[in-house]
Amino acid sequence: MATLQGLPAELLSRILSLACTDSGATGRSLCLVSCPIAAVAVSFKYQSLALRGRKQTLAFARLLERKFHTGPPPRIKFLYVQAQESQEELEEITTEIWKDYSIAKQELQDLTMGGIGSGKKNPGMAGLLVYGSHMAYARQVAEAEQDKFGRDGASAICKILRTAASTLEVLHIATNGYITEQFASQQALNLPRLLDLTTCGGFPLNTENRTSRPALLPCTTLRSVHIVDASYWQSASWVADFFESNGLARFAPQLTSLCLSEVGLHDDFIAAAIARGLGLKVSGLRDCEDLAALPESVKEVKIFHEAPEGREEESRKLVENLQAVGEESKNVRVIAVPVVVESEETGDLEDTYFRQWLEKVDGWL
């Protein structure tokens, strides 16, 4: 009976390429079998890779620095980076960062009230100045730690993306607001083979300065962009920024397919922004003159929107607005797809998008 070892090298290479389309486990496992197979499998060890959580992301960036400091980089073709904590996890992290400041602030408040509830006497103006300086210092330390928290994440992600730049075709990236803000401090990324991008949390926007370049240089290969708006658990929405001059028009100049998910209802902004992006004047929609035109190459815009119970009228209005845009557009399909969100838990949503990424990768080759 024929075995993998007995196959011609080209056929074996093709089989292993098709097999390595999961989170990375298959590629790593194949590198541990017989030498003839491992010798071929090593090329596909990192072909498909999922990094789920901050620890995995930082650890893989360190591995790249240590193991691939010299020599050819790993061939990463499909990459999933989930560096976005749940709201509860993020609150725990920021609470710990700001703990000393909160204590100092509370002490100062107690003292300015004459020690009410604290058992302390008012220390006078000189004492209050001392406590005030303690609070100011604690604030500076907390701000520095918070910036470092975001900067470490942004630096690790950029390290991974630069290493994968020559082969990366499909990217799903989810970041929290602190990481997204720190992309502005990193050198702009060049991903010359990127075809498909799903982004949750604002990447590659420069959220610190909207007039500045995004974190991704113009990518002429990029055809499909899926924007996931996770504002209800990250308390920030970046959807509007993607329609500005330094958004999609800048980093995806040859875009053909745009998809928006988790957009909620957002009044009439979504429909108005799309109309503006397509150069349309639609009666009843606000004028968004400050937004930029979408690339002329766009052929399809698909919006997955929630239809929550009790807000049926708002949902109906959103669909009507999108349909009106679609009727005015002759060359671009505008599609509104209602979705039922069974759970708004970050973990459940993350699993959903992870499965979608796996399905995309599985059908890519």
| Highest averaged pLDDT of the listed ranges 85-89, 270-274, 341-345 | 270-274
What is the arithmetic mean of pLDDT over 91-95?
A: 89
Q: Name which of 10-24, 51-65, 131-145, 286-300 the model is least confident about.
A: 10-24
pLDDT at 123: 64
Residue 276 identity: R
Please report how many Cα atoms fall inside a 13 Å half-sphere around the Cα of residue 219, on the Cβ side.
30
Mean confidence (pLDDT) of the chain: 82
Question: Can you give the pLDDT at residue 233?
Answer: 45
Give yes or no for residue 235 having a pLDDT over 50: no
pLDDT at 351: 81
The pLDDT assigned to 70 comes to: 73
Backbone dihedral region for residue 91 (phi beyond 0: left; psi -120 to 50: alpha; all else: beta)? alpha
Q: Are the C-beta atoms of 23 and 60 separated by less than 8 Å?
A: no
Q: Which of these ranges, 126-140, 194-208, 339-353, has the smallest mean pLDDT?
A: 339-353
Would the pLDDT of 253 be above 90?
A: yes
Give me the pLDDT at residue 107, please: 80
User: In which element (H, E) is residue 83 found?
Assistant: strand 78-83
Q: What is the pLDDT of residue 80?
A: 97
pTM of the entire predicted model: 0.84
Q: Assign residue 24 a region: left if phi > 0, alpha if psi is -120 to 50, beta otherwise?
A: left
Does 236 score more than 70 pLDDT? Answer: no
- % of the chain at pLDDT higher than 90: 36
Q: Residue 309: left if φ>0, alpha if ψ -120 to 50, beta else—which one?
A: beta
pLDDT tens per residue, range 48-86: 899 999 999 999 999 999 887 777 888 999 999 999 887
* pLDDT, average across residues 37-50: 74
Q: How confident is the model at residue 116 (pLDDT cuts 50, 70, 90)?
A: very low
Burial class (CB in 10 A: 0-12, 13-18, 19+), 239: buried
Distance separating alpha carbons of residues 231 and 97, to the nearest angstrom: 22
Stretch (H or E) spanning 200? strand 196-200
Does position 295 have pLDDT exceeding 90, yes or no?
Answer: yes
**Cβ neighbour number for residue 10 with a 10 Å cutoff:** 9
To the nearest 10 degrees (0 to 180), the angle between helices 124-164 and 54-67 is 60
Helix (H) or strand (E) holding 56: helix 54-67
pLDDT bucket at 1, cuts 50 / 70 / 90: very low
Higher pLDDT, 312 or 353: 353
Q: Where are the domains of the chain?
A: 1-45, 46-85+157-362, 89-146
Reported confidence tier of residue 258, pLDDT bands at 50, 70, 90: very high
Q: What is the pLDDT of residues 120-146, one digit of tens each?
A: 556 666 667 777 888 888 899 999 999
Q: 158 falls in which pLDDT band (50, 70, 90)?
A: very high
Q: Tell me if the bond preceding 204 is cis, omega within 30° of 0.
A: yes
Residue 265 has pLDDT above 90, yes or no: no
